[in-house]
Chains A and B, each alone.
Chain A
Amino acid sequence: DIVMTQSPDSLAVSLGERATINCRSSQTVLYNSNNKNYLAWYQQRPGQPPKLLIYWTSTRESGVPDRFSGSGSGTDFTLTISSLQAEDVAVYYCQQYYSSPWTFGQGTKVEI
């Protein structure tokens, strides 16, 4: 199974500042035939189901604000919130869908 490891486990960011979350996979999630990284990011606010933010490493889901961006390739990925808003307080998860079983990182809690 591919192990996904996020860092840090938690971070506190001031309103309007940048938040950066890292995700590392135990093996590549880059599919060479289409040059796509099979990596997604989710946001989970307290008491709610997860919400898809980004897929294919950097494609924002419809309706997701452009302050959220994803980058990386191979085994190392980053989710960046360029200017933290109060509503961004949540736990963020990365997920690989390159190889079954699909696996998630342990989560990163973002606080103000």
Chain B
Amino acid sequence: AQSVTQLGSHVSVSEGALVLLRCNYSSSVPPYLFWYVQYPNQGLQLLLKYTSAATLVKGINGFEAEFKKSETSFHLTKPSAHMSDAAEYFCAVSDQTNNLFFGTGTRLTVIP
């Protein structure tokens, strides 16, 4: 069975500070891993995707995530937070059936 756990339902960072959103996965097969972002009143938008190629994945808006098999982690980072990064972030894992299994989400607040 596939699942993800997101540590921290709320994260606050100052503008310009490092963003670190944590995600750990559980999968019985080599996983596909995703980070989605949801801005207020909008749909889930794909930030980045890991599909067993490079372990460091770069996404949109300066975000990146590193797949660490030994730690079963896929944490999302951004070196310098911007006010426009304030949103809800979802980690997800996909199994062989192509269905997505999401975490509970982390709400990121950026403090000016």
Mutual binders A and B = no
B interface, CB within 8 angstroms of A:
none
A interface, CB within 8 angstroms of B:
none
